[in-house]
């Protein structure tokens, strides 16, 4: 990411704190609201990518914990499902899995159990209340996620899921927390980088950005989260999409 990107990102004044509850789907179908507009803008940037540049498997990242990457991931997935797209969200934040909470589904079995040959793929794909939107939770605990992520079976799984879904979102752990983003970027088509206003330090965001760049990840764009725009009566999230970062 360029220096100009960071100047634009941090040249915005915060007005108030976030009021959206945790683990909540806030986008609504056929509703006029500022939060819907935010997610529609983000969604449209993804939908408008075409040809070889079209990302199908998208990795959601942040620099540190608490930046709202899972909130962005799940709500963006729901928004895409409103466009009659088949969407899958896979929880790859192995230490703090939360995707299931947004849809009030259990985390009893999931990816780890499938990779251990304990269950079938059909058993770990969980349907949500949103038509066309499924999730795969973490399932059982795992002590060395890197072994799972670098396995041939995992690569084949992602390849097989590409045939079933229009979009696949990989909710990854924060870049500066663990190194798993490196392995996940090998199977994804690009990264959406979430930055929470007032959360991560500038140097942390720069460091995370450089690490993603060195890993060979394609950064599709960046999202500023938890920013009050004082529009439409909603004080919550503002999303800035800058396009593919160089």
Give the domain CATH number at 198.
3.40.50.300
Average pLDDT over residues 180-187: 93
Interhelix angle for 69-81 vs 34-47, to 10°?
80
| Confidence band of 33 (pLDDT split at 50, 70, 90) | confident
Report residue 225: phi and psi, to 5°.
-115, 155
In a domain, 190, yes or no: yes
pLDDT digits (tens, 9 = 90+) for 105-154: 999 999 999 999 999 999 999 999 999 999 999 999 999 999 999 999 99
Identify the weakest region by mean pLDDT among 160-169, 170-179, 228-237: 228-237
In a domain, 137, yes or no: yes
In a domain, 18, yes or no: no
- Contacts of 100 by beta carbon, 8 Å cutoff, 6+ apart: 91, 106, 107, 126, 135, 137
In a domain, 44, yes or no: no
In a domain, 220, yes or no: yes
DSSP string, 116-156: TTSS-HHHH-EE-SSTTEEEE---S--S-HHHHHTSHHHHH
- Contacts of 147 by beta carbon, 8 Å cutoff, 6+ apart: none
In a domain, 41, yes or no: no
**End-to-end alpha-carbon separation of the chain, Å?**
6
In a domain, 233, yes or no: no
Report pLDDT for 106: 96
User: Domains in the chain: how many in total?
Assistant: 1
In a domain, 230, yes or no: no
Range of the domain at 113: 3-12+49-225
pTM: 0.85
pLDDT digits (tens, 9 = 90+) for 61-114: 999 998 899 999 999 999 999 999 999 999 999 999 999 999 999 999 999 999
């Amino acid at each position: 990411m360029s220096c100009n990107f960071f100047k634009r990102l941090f040249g915005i004044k915060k007005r108030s704190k976030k009021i959206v509850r945790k683990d909540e789907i806030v986008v609504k179908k056929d509703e006029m609201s500022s939060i819907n507009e935010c997610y529609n803008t983000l969604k449209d940037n993804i939908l408008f990518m075409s040809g070889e540049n079209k990302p199908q498997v998208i990795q959601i990242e942040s620099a540190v914990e608490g930046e709202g990457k899972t909130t962005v991931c799940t709500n963006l997935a729901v928004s895409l499902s409103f466009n009659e797209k088949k969407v899958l969200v896979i929880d790859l934040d192995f230490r703090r899995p939360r995707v299931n909470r947004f849809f009030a589904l259990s985390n009893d079995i999931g990816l780890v159990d499938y990779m251990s040959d304990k269950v079938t793929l059909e058993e770990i794909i969980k349907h949500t209340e949103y038509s066309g939107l499924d999730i795969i939770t973490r399932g059982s605990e795992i002590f060395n996620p890197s072994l799972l992520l670098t396995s041939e079976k995992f690569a084949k799984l992602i390849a097989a899921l590409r045939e079933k879904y229009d979009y696949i979102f990989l909710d990854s752990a924060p870049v500066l927390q663990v190194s798993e983003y490196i392995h996940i970027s090998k199977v994804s088509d690009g990264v959406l980088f979430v930055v929470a206003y007032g959360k991560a330090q500038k140097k942390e965001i720069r460091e995370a950005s450089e690490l993603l760049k060195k890993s060979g990840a394609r950064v599709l764009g960046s999202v500023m989260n938890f920013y009050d725009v004082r529009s439409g009566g909603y004080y919550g999230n503002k999303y800035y999409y800058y396009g593919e970062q160089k």
